[in-house]
Amino acid sequence: MSQNYLNLIRDLQNQLEILQTAIASQADPAPAIAKDCLRSHCEIQKFFQAELVNTNLEITPQNLSLQVEIDKQLKMLGVDLTMLQTARSPATWQKRHQQACDRFILLNRYYEMH
């Protein structure tokens, strides 16, 4: 695996950690912050698509499998953040917030596999 690919994975992981911190710190409904997080998520997903999926770097079959899983989880995170943004009751917010936090934990596990 090339060093460039590993650097891109680290960049993606760092971007997600910043987003994770922003979301984890929101214990109460905050639609405006959720909207900002969703915007950040869109930028992260664009980075992932442009730099890791549509790359000329050589990728091993195992890393390709991880990319497919990361792509799926990033899309699901987008759904989680959209649902978080529209949550109005504290109970719904809490449920959606926990789903998003769990998704970050899963994504972190994928990065540990690289």
The domain ranges of the chain are 3-113
Q: pLDDT of 76-100, one tens digit each?
A: 999 999 998 888 889 999 999 999 9
Question: For residue 28, what is the DSSP state?
Answer: S
What is the arithmetic mean of pLDDT over 8-20?
93
Return the percentage of the chain with pLDDT > 90, whole number.
54
Write the class of the CATH domain 3-113. Answer: mainly alpha
Q: Which residue has the tokens 């997080």?
A: 37
For 23-78, how does the pLDDT look when each residue is reduced to its tens digit (9 = 90+)?
988 877 887 888 899 999 999 999 999 988 887 778 888 888 989 999 999 999 99
Report the alpha-carbon distance of residue 114 to residue 112 in Å, rounded: 6
Contact, 111 vs 9, CB < 8 A?
yes
SS3 56: coil
Question: How many residues belong to the chain?
Answer: 114
Listed in sequence order, the residues at least 6 apart from 96 whose beta carbon sits closer than 8 Å to its beta carbon are 80, 83, 84, 87
DSSP H helical ranges for the chain: 3-24, 31-47, 61-86, 90-113
What is the pTM (predicted TM-score) of this model? 0.88
